[in-house]
Amino acid sequence: MGLKIWLQDRLVDQQDAKISVFDHGLLYGDGVFEGIRVYNGKIFECRAHLDRLYESAKVVMLEIPIDIDAMTQALEETVRANEIHEGYIRLVITRGVGDLGLNPFKCPKANVIIIADSIQLYPKALYEEGIKVVSSPTVRNHPLACPPQVKSLNYLNNIFAKIEALLGGVSEAIMYNHLGYVAEASGDNVFIVKNGTIYSPPVQAGSLDGITRNVVIELAQKDGFNVTEKDLTRFDLYVADEMFLTGTAAEVIGVVEMDGRKIGAGRPGSVTNRLRELFFGYARS
């Protein structure tokens, strides 16, 4: 049996979930999206995700046709219809149907798409062993281009980095901004641990304002860790005692090698493991 997909204002069978070839989400990557986890049948940090979605839409002048309360109900209904207990939601807002020109104002109504399914970004063993990463030569979007804080459907900047990681035989790539500071990975936020302090690049360095990132920072501070946001260089990552990534799909995963350099002891460290434990305790509570 196929999935039930929320399309515009109702659930439809997976085979009937279709949009026009003239939708500007397809033609130009014009739209915004969120990836959201479901733990124990509950939508994780739902309001934070929706706040970010509606802010992204505001920046690109995209009017979402329903309000946050109605969107919350649509998400919950889609999760129930697909009997998702542990899973993932992809919420997509496209600009809608227009003509072959760029003008977004010729698209009278945005499309709302909600998919709820299972996900496994990395094999289970990698969470125990850690992953390897490389530096990406692709520069993160300039802040005067499409703001990196907008979670838009145009993900080519990140896809370039992912391609570079896969061609390099590793799982992820670290992206840098136009000033040479660490921004984020292709799909995750970056953290390091040095001398007991946890560091992460500020959002202004070119990263998405990650929901999982913010939860992990709060949990770390409550557990007594010193967490500092500051610009990080490639050198800082090479000499870190620990390094880990956070994201909706990745959750919390340790990095054990970067550009051929072993990070710390070459396995996920005690801080990484503690934060992973705290995160799942919080997510499934």
CB contact set of 68 (below 8 Å; sequence gap of 6+)? 47, 50, 51, 54
Task: Choose one of 76, 93, 117: the last residue of a domain.
Answer: 117
What is the percentage of the chain residues whose pLDDT exceeds 90? 96
Over residues 262-281, the pLDDT tens digits come to 999 999 999 999 999 999 99
Q: Are residues 99 and 139 in the same domain?
A: no
Q: Tell me: do 146 and 272 sit in the same domain.
A: yes
Tokens 């397809």, residue located:
26
* Boundary (domain end) residue, out of 117, 146, 169: 117
* End position of a domain, from candidates 61, 88, 117: 117
- Residue 92's Cα: distance from chain center in Å? 13
Active-site residue set: 151
Whether residue 138 is found in the same domain as residue 58: no
pLDDT for 1 equals 65
Are 164 and 83 in the same domain? no
- Which spans in 60-110 are helix H? 68-81
Q: By C-alpha distance, which of 85, 122, 133 is closest to 284? A: 85
Q: What is the pLDDT of residues 32-86, one digit of tens each?
A: 999 999 999 999 999 999 999 999 999 999 999 999 999 999 999 999 999 999 9
Long-range contacts of 70-75 (CB under 8 A, 24+ apart): 71/112, 72/43, 72/46, 72/47, 74/6, 74/112, 74/114, 75/6, 75/36, 75/43, 75/46, 75/114, 75/116
Split into its structural domains, the chain has a count of 2
